[in-house]
Amino acid sequence: MEKFELHILGCGSALPTTRHFATSQVVNMRDKLFMIDCGEGAQMQLRRSRLKFTRLNHIFISHLHGDHCFGLFGLISTFGLLGRTAELCIHSPKGLEELFAPMLGFFCRNLSYKVTFQEFDTKEPSLIYEDRSVTVTTIPLQHRIPCCGFLFSEKPGFHHIIREMIDFYEVPLYEINRIKNGADYVTPEGVVVPNARLTTAPDPVRTYAYCSDTIFREKIIEQVKGVDLLFHEATFAQSELARAKETFHSTAEQAAFIGREAGVKKLVIGHFSARYEDEGLLLREASAVFPSTILAKEGLCIQV
C-alpha cells in the first residue's frame, strides 16, 4: 500500500512542560508532507523526525491560540535560511495573515520563497485542499475562538495489474495505464477483455481525522464516522469535567465516546494538560470506553 503515516511532533497543551512539546503533527501521504498545527518547537521536532523539509508545502492551522501556531514564524524563517524556493501555503481561520504580515515584513523581508495564506470558514465543513492523492476537509469544532479540525481522505489508487494475464493477452505497454485506471482491453481482433480479468481491485482508501481543541461535541461523530484513525484532544480526566467545560476542552472519556460512536478503527488521544505527570490515567479512562485507544507521544509514527 502507498505510504500514509501520522507523525506526532508535539502533544502537550498550552502550558509548556519538560515532558511534551506543544501541538504539532505531520501527515506523510505518499511522501508529500502536510503539517497540522505548528506549536513552539515544531521545527526541532521535525528535524528529529528525519522527515524532509522540502516535501512540506502545506500547513493547516486549526485555530489561532499560541500553542498551535507559535512555532510557525520560526519555521518560515528557517526555510528561508535553507534557501527554500517552493511556495509554502498556510491554511487557517481568518486573521493569521493579518497577525503575521508585520513580522514577516520585518524579519523575513528577503525570503527566497513565497508564503501564501488561505483562510477557511469554521462554521461549515468545506474542502480546502485537493490533489491527485488526497482531499482535506474541515471539521467544525467548538472552542473559545473559531476552530476546525481536518479530515484527510485518500483518493482511490490504481488497479493492480495481473502480470500473467497481461502476458497471456499480449497487452501492449501503451495500454497499461488505461487498464490500471479501470479500462477494459480490446484485442486487435476486437475481443473485449474485461478489466476484472486483467487486474485486482485498488487498495482500500484510508482516512485520518484530526480533532483539535474542542468542547465535547457529538456533531463530530457523523463527519468522522468509520475513519481509520482519529486524533481527538483529551486535555483532562473525567474528574476535571467542570474545568473541561469551562475551557471548552474535552476529557479522555468524552474523546473515547466520540471514537466508539463513530466506529473508528483506532483512536489516539493527546493535547494533555500539564497537570498530569502520567497520562496513564487518561488512557485508562478512554480505554474503558473504547479499547482501541492509544496515547500520543512525541516521536510516535502511526501507520494509517
Q: 211: which 3 cell numbers? A: 480533532
Shared domain for 141 and 165, answered yes or no, is no
Based on the structure, what is the number of domains in the chain?
A: 2
What is the per-residue pLDDT across 284-304, written as a single tens digit (0 to 9) for each? 999 999 999 999 999 999 999
Sign, Cα dihedral of 168, 174, 177, 182: negative
pLDDT of residue 170: 92
Identify whether 121 is a catalytic site residue.
no
pLDDT of residue 1: 80
Shared domain for 130 and 219, answered yes or no, is yes
pLDDT bracket for residue 257 (50, 70, 90):
very high
Average per-residue pLDDT for the chain: 96
**Rounded CA gap, 149 and 269, in Å?**
14
pLDDT bracket for residue 87 (50, 70, 90):
very high
Among the listed residues 37, 67, 213, 228, the single catalytic one is: 67
**Identity at 272, one-letter amino acid code:** F
pLDDT at 2 > cutoff 90: no
pLDDT bracket for residue 109 (50, 70, 90):
confident
Domain that holds residue 43: 4-157+203-303
Shared domain for 129 and 190, answered yes or no, is no
- Residue 177 neighbours by CB under 8 Å, 6+ apart: none
Burial, 132: exposed, middle or buried (Cβ in 10 Å; 0-12, 13-18, 19+)?
Answer: exposed
Shared domain for 172 and 252, answered yes or no, is no
pLDDT of residue 188: 92
Shared domain for 26 and 86, answered yes or no, is yes
pLDDT at 16 > cutoff 90: no
pLDDT at 200 > cutoff 90: yes
Shared domain for 83 and 193, answered yes or no, is no
Shared domain for 123 and 147, answered yes or no, is yes
Shared domain for 62 and 147, answered yes or no, is yes
Shared domain for 14 and 127, answered yes or no, is yes
Shared domain for 57 and 179, answered yes or no, is no
What backbone phi and psi angles, to 5 degrees, belong to 4?
Answer: -150, 100
What is the domain-level CATH number for residue 82?
3.60.15.10
Shared domain for 31 and 146, answered yes or no, is yes
pLDDT of residue 27: 98
pLDDT of residue 157: 86
pLDDT of residue 197: 94
Q: Which residue has the cell 497540522?
A: 36
What is the per-residue pLDDT across 141-160, written as a single tens digit (0 to 9) for each? 999 999 999 999 999 888 99
Q: How many C-beta atoms lie closer than 10 Å to residue 170's C-beta?
A: 8
Domain end point (choices 185, 200, 215): 200
What is the per-residue pLDDT across 164-186, written as a single tens digit (0 to 9) for each? 999 999 999 999 999 999 999 99
Shared domain for 108 and 209, answered yes or no, is yes
